[in-house]
Amino acid sequence: MTESANSLTVRKVTTAHRITVCAQQLTDQHGFDGFTMDELAEAAGVSRRTVFNYFPGKLDAVLGNKPEVRDDLLTEFTRGGPEGNLIDDLCSILVHMVSTKEFTRAEAEVARRIVKADPRLMAAAHERFEGLAEEFAALIVRREGEAFGNRRARLLISMVACLYGVALNDVLDADNPGLELDVAFVEALSTLRDLLSR
């Protein structure tokens, strides 16, 4: 990828992030129905057309783009890598996903607060998780073989999602200033392993 292409990619990610942060702040201040897309565009410093170039509607703008994983990492995972241990390899993908998120601690607090406060956002976030869970369950079965089964794959995904929730709580805890989400996730996994070995 050329330097100009890299710059364009970074600019797109940054613009999408800014729109989502502004959408979440407006939701926090006025409620999901309390602002228009024109007001969102103004808050983000972009045109209404730009907002719709990035997001099809308000709900998507508030939730933000779905996390993406590089194709080479997914290919490596389905081939049994990078380490050859299913749980470690699955968690390494999640660590990559959370370490590339731009959200600050304050922004993450707003995001969690608005989702908890609005049933529509909660339902949409749950639906998004279910879609991602299905995708990753399929990757696990492709890697491990059909005998592994979708139920076991979904159970593993649910466990990893719980670890993510614990890690996010740790990051947002006032007693843990400066704790990064990827570090918190690895620590949560280590704690779980210790508990299950007893």
CA distance 29 to 110: 10
Dump pLDDT digits (tens) for 131-172: 999 999 999 999 999 999 999 999 999 999 999 889 888 888
Tokens of 137: 């369950």
What stretches in the chain show pLDDT beneath 50?
Answer: 1-3, 5-6, 8-10
Q: Residue 11: its pLDDT value, please?
A: 57
pTM: 0.81
Q: Rounding to the nearest 10 degrees, give the CA dihedral for residues 11, 12, 16, 18.
A: 10
Burial (Cβ within 10 Å: 0-12, 13-18, ≥19) of residue 185: buried
Give residue 66's pLDDT. Answer: 84
pLDDT of residue 1: 45
Residue closest to 160 by CA, chosen among 152, 178, 108, 145: 152
Q: Is 148 exposed, middle or buried (0-12, 13-18, 19+ CB in 10 A)?
A: middle
pLDDT, position 8: 43
CATH superfamily of 1-65: Homeodomain-like (1.10.10.60)
Domain at 66-198: CATH architecture? Orthogonal Bundle (1.10)
Q: What is the pLDDT of residue 68?
A: 80
For the chain, domain boundaries: 1-65, 66-198
What is the per-residue pLDDT for 71?
A: 92
Q: Using CA atoms, how far apart are residues 5 and 159, in angstroms rounded to an integer? A: 37
Q: What is the pLDDT of residue 3?
A: 44
Q: How far apart are the first and last CA of the chain?
A: 49
